[in-house]
């Protein structure tokens, strides 16, 4: 490993030498098989001009990009469109009987929705919302479970030109209220309840609590999912089925400027107040359609499945808009991977003969923990491309995914992007790019990124630093709702040089660029530790831990240490059947020292049955930091499993006196 100096580059300490090239067989059928595409992407405007034809325009644009008011971009200037015409109308006309969604309920109920069905359903709801007073520009909040009406709700808003603001159905009343109020939403669309892990989530009841302090809401539309009796306020609340029953199934799509907002999606930052990320219409539509088609090698006849909840950006872009614009058939699954048993995903893949699976590393690590007997019970040979998103995937999880799900045959697309970027930015092209386990590889054509040091200078290959995006891209966030200054400040101030008219987007992630120029994401920069002047990524230590045969999952945080600045505190979940003891702690510490270097050896290791996670599956390192520093726990309301943190805190206290911090 490299010796520490005081420069602020992040030291990238891991070496991964395995390589996986697309097979000749895959290349022969791939949508994109020639590396020449990267050259085409070199001329950003010309590249994105070409791909604009994936979308139906009511009025053609006059200019691809206007960057004169940077960092506030305008894409497809003067272009007019309604995104639902690309997503629905053209398919409802050309292939009305093609399936848009196979819905699979958690309890096994199913529904098949064709493009014509979806078109009609969206028009009906758009008409109903219009009758409730929703007009172009009004915000509509959506708080739902994964039912077919969820995509319908987004699309109905888009049909009217009313920006939707989806709040994930796992969030609390408080979160919902704050988001409704920030956006001054006029209507809320929700469900009576949703099914989750065999139980019920009382969405309407939670919404009622929020609504008592959300004065902007004039009406509430309630989808009946479980049929539970819920409180309905006369004149304010209506059942979805009552509203649509007599509504017309035709609705002219509102004409939108390419730069009219399509949606707001809130995301947390470093302050308590969530940021309402604003996406507009034209650039977003082109961006999601292009990336979806290329990254997943989408073909007519494919059955594509993205397991993300529509409540997150992955659901917006790759369950709803991207797949529908590309006219593909998707599966929409309501529930969790372990209901009724731990093979539910594999059963669904076999049942529908899924061709593309797009899921999260956290799920893959969970599947690893459960064991290979679950996937091996099912025929997964229909799969062609498998993808991941949301966090770095450690090489061991990548290899497991490759072997046990992809059958050593399917290219893996590790896709890096963010709520703010709107669509995938860094990812292999499955028919072109040689992959390396754990690397998102290289930026997509038409996307330009760099890795820079603290002064914004590009680092040489083989070094680490901060990931930045150096040129605008079509799906980029346009602003933070009602707060353009914050937008500028959070994303565009760190490395931009306005005096030179140089605008650079700072993603907040650390990254390493290896000797071949491949990008390795190292986690958020606030998850970077500093041990004895060495900056070490939490992820690299986690990868090293998970690399040990006894470990299923690991989370690492830096805690203050009088001698070393920070010391590394690790929290480890062992594979089923393995017992954690002092001998194993010593072994794991040595394992990390061998894989990365002594400096990365965790000062303490606490075994835990589960890690504290948000409902979207992200590990809450902030809480682990609180535990490690024996502080009062911060906000735990977004945790999926609150009890876990108290249990870990007790264990950490006991073991911190036993472990030594060197």
Q: Which residues contact ligand PRX by CB under 6 A?
A: 267, 313-314, 389-392, 414-419, 440, 507-509, 521, 524
Q: Environment class of residue 576 by beta-carbon count within 10 Å: exposed (0-12), middle (13-18) or buried (19+)?
A: exposed
* Least Å from the CB of residue 145 to ligand PRX: 20
> How far is 602 from 628, CA to CA, in rounded Å?
12
211/521 with CB nearer ligand PRX: 521
- Closest C-alpha to 462, from 528, 517, 533, 522: 517
The torsion of the CA quartet 524, 525, 528, 534, rounded to 10 degrees, works out to 150
Q: Where are the beta strands (DSSP E) in 525-611?
A: 528-531, 534-537, 551-561, 565-574, 604-607
423/601 with CB nearer ligand PRX: 423
Contact 633, 580 (CB under 8 A): no
378/524 with CB nearer ligand PRX: 524
What is the Cα 624 distance to its own chain's centre?
22
> How far is 476 from 69, CA to CA, in rounded Å?
14
173/419 with CB nearer ligand PRX: 419
335/508 with CB nearer ligand PRX: 508
What is the Cα 496 distance to its own chain's centre?
26
> How far is 205 from 214, CA to CA, in rounded Å?
14
367/491 with CB nearer ligand PRX: 491
> How far is 229 from 222, CA to CA, in rounded Å?
11
Tokens linked to 353: 């003969």
* Least Å from the CB of residue 616 to ligand PRX: 7
* Least Å from the CB of residue 442 to ligand PRX: 13
Angle (CA) 548-611-623 rounded to 5° is: 120
> How far is 626 from 479, CA to CA, in rounded Å?
32
3-state secondary structure of 519: strand
196/512 with CB nearer ligand PRX: 512
CA atoms in the 13 A half-sphere facing the CB of 124: 17
**Residue 409 has what DSSP assignment?**
T
280/314 with CB nearer ligand PRX: 314
> How far is 282 from 276, CA to CA, in rounded Å?
19
127/419 with CB nearer ligand PRX: 419
Contact 411, 430 (CB under 8 A): yes
* Least Å from the CB of residue 524 to ligand PRX: 5
173/415 with CB nearer ligand PRX: 415
* Least Å from the CB of residue 368 to ligand PRX: 17
> How far is 447 from 417, CA to CA, in rounded Å?
11
φ, ψ dihedrals at 333, nearest 5° = -110, 135
CB environment 330-358: b (16+ within 10 A), e (fewer): bbbbbbebbbeebbbbbebbbebebbbbb
257/391 with CB nearer ligand PRX: 391
* Least Å from the CB of residue 61 to ligand PRX: 27
The end-to-end CA distance of the chain, in Å, is 18
3-state secondary structure of 645: helix
The β-bridge partners of 452 are 458, 466
173/317 with CB nearer ligand PRX: 317
293/359 with CB nearer ligand PRX: 359
* Least Å from the CB of residue 311 to ligand PRX: 11
Q: What sign results for the dihedral spanned by CA atoms 506, 512, 517, 520?
A: negative
């Amino acid at each position: 490993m490299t010796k520490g100096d005081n420069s602020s580059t992040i030291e990238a300490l891991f070496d991964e030498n395995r390589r996986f090239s697309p097979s000749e067989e895959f290349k022969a059928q791939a949508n994109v098989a020639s590396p020449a595409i990267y050259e085409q992407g070199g001329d950003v405007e010309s590249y994105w001009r070409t791909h604009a034809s994936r979308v139906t325009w009511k009025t053609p644009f006059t200019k691809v990009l206007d960057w004169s008011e940077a960092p506030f971009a305008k894409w497809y200037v003067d272009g007019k469109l309604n995104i639902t015409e690309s997503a629905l109308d053209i398919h409802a006309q050309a292939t009305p009987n093609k399936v848009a969604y196979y819905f699979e309920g958690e309890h096994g109920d199913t529904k098949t929705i064709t493009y014509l069905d979806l078109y009609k359903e969206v028009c009906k709801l758009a008409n109903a919302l219009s009758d409730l007073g929703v007009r172009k520009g009004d915000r509509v909040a959506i708080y739902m479970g994964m039912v077919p009406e969820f995509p319908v709700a987004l699309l109905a808003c888009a049909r009217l030109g009313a920006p939707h603001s989806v709040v994930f159905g796992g969030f609390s009343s408080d979160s919902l209220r704050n988001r409704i109020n920030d956006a001054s939403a006029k209507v809320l669309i929700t469900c009576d309840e949703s099914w989750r892990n065999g139980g019920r989530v009382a969405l309407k009841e939670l919404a009622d609590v929020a609504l008592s302090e959300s004065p902007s809401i004039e009406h509430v539309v309630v989808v009946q999912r479980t049929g539970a009796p819920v409180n309905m306020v006369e004149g304010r609340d209506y059942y979805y089925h009552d509203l649509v029953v007599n509504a017309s199934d035709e609705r002219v799509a509102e004409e939108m400027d390419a730069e009219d907002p399509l949606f707001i999606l809130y995301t947390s930052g470093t302050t308590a107040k969530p940021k309402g990320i604003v996406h507009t219409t034209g650039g977003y539509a082109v961006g999601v359609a292009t990336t979806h088609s290329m990254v997943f090698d989408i073909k007519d006849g494919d059955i594509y499945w993205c397991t993300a909840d529509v409540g997150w950006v992955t659901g917006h872009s790759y369950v709803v808009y991207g797949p529908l614009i590309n006219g593909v058939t998707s599966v929409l699954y309501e529930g969790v991977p372990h209901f009724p048993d731990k093979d539910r995903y594999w059963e669904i893949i076999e049942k529908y003969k899924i061709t593309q699976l797009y899921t999260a590393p956290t799920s893959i690590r969970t599947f690893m923990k459960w064991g290979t007997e679950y996937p091996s019970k099912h025929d997964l040979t229909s799969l062609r491309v498998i993808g991941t998103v949301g966090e770095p995937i450690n090489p061991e999880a990548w290899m497991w995914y490759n072997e046990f799900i992809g059958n050593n045959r399917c290219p893996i697309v590790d896709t890096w992007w963010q709520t703010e970027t709107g669509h995938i930015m860094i990812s292999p092209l499955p028919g072109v790019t040689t992959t390396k386990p754990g690397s998102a590889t290289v930026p997509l054509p038409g996307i330009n990124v760099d890795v820079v040091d603290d002064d914004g200078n590009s680092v040489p290959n083989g070094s680490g630093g901060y990931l930045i995006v150096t040129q605008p891209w079509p799906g980029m966030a346009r602003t933070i709702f009602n707060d353009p200054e914050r937008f500028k400040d959070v994303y565009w101030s760190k490395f931009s040089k306005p005096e030179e008219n140089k605008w650079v987007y700072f993603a907040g992630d650390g990254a390493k660029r290896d000797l071949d120029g491949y990008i390795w994401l190292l986690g958020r920069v606030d998850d970077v530790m500093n041990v004895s002047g060495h900056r070490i990524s939490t992820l690299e230590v986690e990868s090293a831990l998970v690399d040990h045969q006894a470990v299923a999952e690991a989370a690492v945080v830096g805690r203050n240490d009088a001698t070393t600045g920070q010391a590394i505190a690790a929290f480890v979940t062992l594979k089923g059947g393995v017992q954690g003891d002092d001998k194993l702690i010593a072994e794991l510490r040595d394992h990390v020292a061998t894989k990365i270097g002594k400096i990365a050896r965790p000062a303490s290791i606490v075994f835990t049955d589960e890690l504290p996670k948000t409902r979207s599956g992200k590990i809450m390192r902030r809480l682990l930091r609180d535990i490690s520093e024996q502080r009062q726990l911060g906000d735990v309301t977004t945790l999926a499993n609150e009890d876990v943190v108290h249990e870990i805190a007790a264990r950490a206290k006991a073991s911190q006196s036993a472990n030594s911090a060197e």
